[in-house]
Chains A and B, each alone.
Chain A
C-alpha cells in the first residue's frame, strides 16, 4: 500500500486514526462499517492530494479500489434485502443520482449548521420545562489544614479507653441477720404473723433475703410455717408456743 494512503489521517464520528488501522478494524469486524462516513474519508484524501505538488497516481489508484470495496461492503450491510438492478443503470444516470444524493446531504449538513448557530444564539434563553433538574452545586475545596491537628485527632483515637464501670451490675443484699432479728422480735411479741404483710413493701431482693431468713428460722426450729397451697399467704408462728 502506498504510504500516502496508508497513513492518511482520519477524524470521523466513528473513528480517529490512520486509514490502514480503519481497514484492519473493519476486516476484523471490530468496527461497524455502517457507522463510518465514507464521504468524509474521500474528502480527507482529496484534501491531502490538493496539499501536494504532484499527483501520486499509484496512491490514487489504490485509494479508489479500497474506497470502492468499502462502499460495496457498506452498501451490502446497510441494505441487505434490497435487490438493486445495477445492470440497467446508465453510468451517467448513476453519476447524476450520486450527485443528487450528495447535494441533498450537503443541504441537510448546511441545515444542521444553521441549527447549531441557532442553538448558540439561543444559549441565553432559559425557560421552564416542567421540573428542571437542579444544577450540581460547585464543590467547595476544604480550607488549608494544620497537619498537627490531624496528629492530635489520630492520637485521641489511639488512646486506650478507660475500663468500663460495672457498678450498675452489682446487687446489694441486705444482711440476713436483719430479717432474723426482726422475725424473732415479732414472734416474741405476737406469737404469730403473716409473712406476706411483712415483706409487702420491700424490694424483690429484700423479699428473697427475708424468705431465706424465714427458712433459716424453720431449720433452727424457732418457727413453724404453714401455707394452704402454692402462692397462698404464708403464716408463721412461734414453734415453742405450739
Chain B
C-alpha cells in the first residue's frame, strides 16, 4: 500500500514561525525584521503569511488580534476582552494625560524633532513639566540637539503610535483639516468690539 504523504504549504510553515516571533516580541515587528528573523528572502511572502495570520487572529474569531501598528505588526487583546484586561493590568502611559500634555504631544508629533523653547513659543506657556511628563511616559524621547543654542529636541516614539493606534507617523490627520475654527475666534473678538456701548 502506498503511504499517504501530507504535503505542507510552505507559507503555512512561515506563518507559524512568524506567529512565534510575534508572541515573544514586546514591540511591533516590521516586515523587514520578520524577513530577517525567518531568513525569508522575499518580503512579499512574509506579507502573504501575515495576511494568513491576520485572518486567523481577528476580532470576533480570536481573543488575540493581529494589528498593523507603529510601522510593524503586533498582537493585542481583542476589544471584547477589554474589561477583563483592565482588571488585570494598569495603563500608566495612557492614564491622566492633561490638556497641556496633549497639546505638547501634538506639537511634537507634527513638528518633531522640536525643542522646548519652540513648544513654549507656540503654546505661550513654559513646556518643561509637560515635556518631562511625556518623556517619563515614553511617548516622546530626545532626538539630538538644535544646531544653534544646543537645546534638546524631542520626537514621538513608536510607543506613541502604538498607544494611539496609528499605523505610522503619517497616519496623523492634516493640520489644516483640524483648524476649521481659526476664524471663529477673530469673529468673536470683533463682535464684542462692535457692540454699541
Contact = CB atoms under 8 A, between A and B. Distances in A.
Contacts of B85: 126
Given A112-B106, A127-B76, A135 B88 contact: yes
- Among B26, B76, B182, chain A packs the most CB atoms within 10 A around the CB of B182
Interface in B52-111: 67, 74-77, 79, 81-82, 85-94, 97-100, 102-103, 105-107, 109-110
A103 interface: yes
B51 to A, nearest CB: 20
A49 B192 contact: yes
Judged by DSSP, the binding face of B is helix
Interface residue tally of chain B, by bracket? Answer: 35 or more
B126 interface: yes
B77 A122 contact: no
Contacts of A111: 106-107, 109-110, 172-173, 175, 178
A188 interface: no
Contact of A50 (B120, B176, B192): B192
Contact of B197 (A57, A119, A133): A57
Nearest to A103: B182
A114 B125 contact: no
Nearest to B81: A126
A69 interface: no
Interface residues of A, number: 50
A109 B103 contact: yes
Contacts of B182: 102-103, 106-107
Given A122-B164, A125-B76, A105 B124 contact: yes
Given A110-B178, A129-B93, A133-B89, A122 B165 contact: yes
A118 interface: yes
A120 to B, nearest CB: 10
B89 A135 contact: yes
Interface string A80-108: 00000000000000000001011111111
B191 interface: yes
A94 B53 CA distance: 58
Interface string A28-61: 0000101111110000001001100011010000
B157 to A, nearest CB: 12
Contacts of B178: 107, 110-111, 113-114
A227 B120 CA distance: 103
Nearest to A130: B26
A115 B99 contact: no
Contacts of B181: 106, 110
A90 B103 CA distance: 31
A37 B125 contact: yes
A142 B13 CA distance: 54
Interface of B: 26, 67, 74-77, 79, 81-82, 85-94, 97-100, 102-103, 105-107, 109-110, 120-126, 159, 162-165, 172-173, 175-176, 178-182, 185-186, 188-189, 191-192, 195-197
23 contacts: A32-B126, A35-B126, A46-B189, A49-B192, A54-B197, A103-B179, A108-B103, A110-B178, A111-B106, A112-B105, A113-B102, A114-B178, A119-B94, A119-B97, A123-B82, A124-B79, A126-B76, A127-B67, A128-B75, A130-B26, A132-B89, A134-B88, A135-B90
The 8 closest A-B pairs by CB, nearest first: A124-B82, A111-B106, A110-B178, A127-B76, A112-B102, A126-B85, A126-B77, A34-B126
Given A114-B106, A135-B88, 17 more contacts: A50-B188, A101-B121, A103-B179, A107-B179, A107-B182, A111-B106, A111-B173, A113-B178, A124-B82, A125-B76, A125-B165, A126-B77, A129-B159, A130-B26, A135-B87, A135-B89, A136-B90
